[in-house]
């Protein structure tokens, strides 16, 4: 929470009387988390991308090992998570969880290149599925913690336009990436495929919260309605980014 008034310490006084120091301070971006390294990992050759719904929802079991999941949840619980308000803005899904969000291009690049993700995505059987030339991951990194009774109500994920790299290239997001980091009761991510207009309503598709499993699903215009079901016991930890392609 922001302090009500500026602290009146000697330190802050000496800083404000030196304009160049102030300039440096203003330019300093908020500190990025000191993310743990991605070890140990299952070798890429031992991982497979499976379809929960062909062309729409893909899974990579054991993308993170159990040990790495534990390292991450321990680390993530030290971050300043904030509880999202129960009352969303108009048109936004009700989302009750604790979250942390950071713009971190370095981490996005690490998660892309220092895990099996880049290899699995770029060597996928049908690369046209990604919706363009894949550049990497969205630097908008989100961390969610759901405790019992917390959930993410039904919604669609939007595609976002952004610029990535140096020199920067126009890009857009096409698939959501979720990495489950813990085991919990409930909390499944559930998708609701649309059936034919007058036909029967298709069964929902349920992705279980398997620690270490990565889930990719199409978003933007091709997004299925989905939700993060209420957690009934334990904690559900998720790392979220998106696949980014050339615009
Ligand atoms: O936590 C989940 O299972 C779903 C998260 C989600 O839908 C989102 O991040 O947009
Ligand atoms: Fe979503």
- Shortest-distance Cα residue to atom 5 of ligand 1: 228
| Domain contains 46 | no
CB contact at 8 A, 184 and 234: yes
Higher local confidence (pLDDT), 60 or 196 = 60
Pocket perturbation via mutation, ligand 1, pick of 219, 228, 241 by most ligand atoms within 8 A of CB: 228
Rounded distance from Cα 226 to ligand 2 centre (Å): 6
| Domain contains 42 | no
- Check pocket membership of 59 for ligand 1, CB cut-off 6 A: no
Q: Which atom of ligand 1 is nearest to the CA of 142?
A: 9
| Domain contains 2 | no
Number of folded domains in the chain?
1
Higher local confidence (pLDDT), 17 or 110 = 110
- Shortest-distance Cα residue to atom 4 of ligand 1: 228
The reported pLDDT for the residue numbered 217 is 98
Average pLDDT, whole number, for the chain? Answer: 89
Q: At residue 54, does pLDDT exceed 50? A: yes
Residue 100, burial from CB neighbour count under 10 angstroms (0-12, 13-18, 19+): middle
- Check pocket membership of 240 for ligand 1, CB cut-off 6 A: yes
CB contact at 8 A, 128 and 175: no
| Domain contains 20 | no
| Domain contains 84 | yes
| Domain contains 62 | yes
Q: Which of 23-27, 155-159, 166-170, 235-239 has the lowest mean pLDDT?
A: 23-27
The reported pLDDT for the residue numbered 233 is 98
Structural domain that includes position 102: 57-246
Q: Which atom of ligand 1 is nearest to the CA of 238?
A: 1
Rounded distance from Cα 1 to ligand 1 centre (Å): 26
Q: Which atom of ligand 1 is nearest to the CA of 187?
A: 3
The CATH number for 172's domain is 2.60.120.620
Q: Average pLDDT of 210-217?
A: 98
User: Sorting pLDDT into bands at 50, 70 and 90, what band is 16?
Assistant: very low
| Domain contains 151 | yes
Distances in Å between the Cα of 21 and the Cα atoms of 28, 31, 67, 81, 136 are 11, 18, 43, 30, 36
The reported pLDDT for the residue numbered 25 is 55
Q: Average pLDDT of 78-82?
A: 94
The reported pLDDT for the residue numbered 35 is 98
The reported pLDDT for the residue numbered 13 is 36
Rounded distance from Cα 188 to ligand 2 centre (Å): 12
Distances in Å between the Cα of 64 and the Cα atoms of 14, 68, 105, 165, 185 are 47, 6, 20, 26, 20
| Domain contains 114 | yes
Tens of pLDDT, residues 149-168: 999 999 999 999 999 988 99
- Shortest-distance Cα residue to atom 8 of ligand 1: 157
The answer, yes or no, to whether ipTM is higher than 0.85 is yes
- Check pocket membership of 189 for ligand 1, CB cut-off 6 A: yes
- Shortest-distance Cα residue to atom 9 of ligand 1: 240
Q: Minimum-distance ligand to the CA of 84?
A: 1
């Amino acid at each position: 929470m922001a302090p009500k008034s500026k602290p009146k310490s000697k330190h802050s006084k000496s800083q404000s009387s030196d304009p160049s120091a102030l300039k440096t301070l203003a330019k300093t971006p908020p500190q990025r988390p000191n993310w743990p390294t991605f070890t140990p990992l299952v070798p890429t050759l031992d991982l497979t991308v499976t379809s929960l719904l062909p062309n729409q929802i893909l899974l990579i079991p054991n993308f993170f090992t159990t040990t790495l999941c534990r390292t991450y949840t321990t680390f993530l619980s030290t971050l300043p998570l904030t509880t999202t308000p129960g009352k969303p803005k108009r048109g936004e899904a009700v989302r009750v969880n604790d979250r942390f969000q950071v713009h971190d291009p370095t981490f996005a690049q690490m998660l892309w290149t220092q895990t099996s993700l880049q290899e699995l995505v770029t060597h996928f059987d049908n690369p046209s599925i990604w919706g363009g030339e894949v550049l990497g991951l969205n630097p908008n990194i989100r961390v969610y913690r759901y405790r019992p009774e917390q959930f993410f109500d039904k919604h669609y994920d939007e595609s976002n336009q952004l610029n990535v790299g140096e020199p920067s290239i126009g890009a857009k997001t096409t698939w959501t990436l979720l990495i489950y980091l813990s085991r919990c009761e409930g909390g499944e991510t559930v998708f609701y495929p649309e059936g034919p207009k007058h036909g029967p309503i298709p069964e929902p598709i349920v992705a279980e919260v398997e620690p270490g499993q990565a889930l990719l699903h199409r978003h933007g215009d091709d997004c299925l309605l989905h939700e993060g079901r209420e957690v009934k016991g334990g904690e559900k930890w998720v790392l979220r980014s998106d696949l980014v392609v050339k615009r």
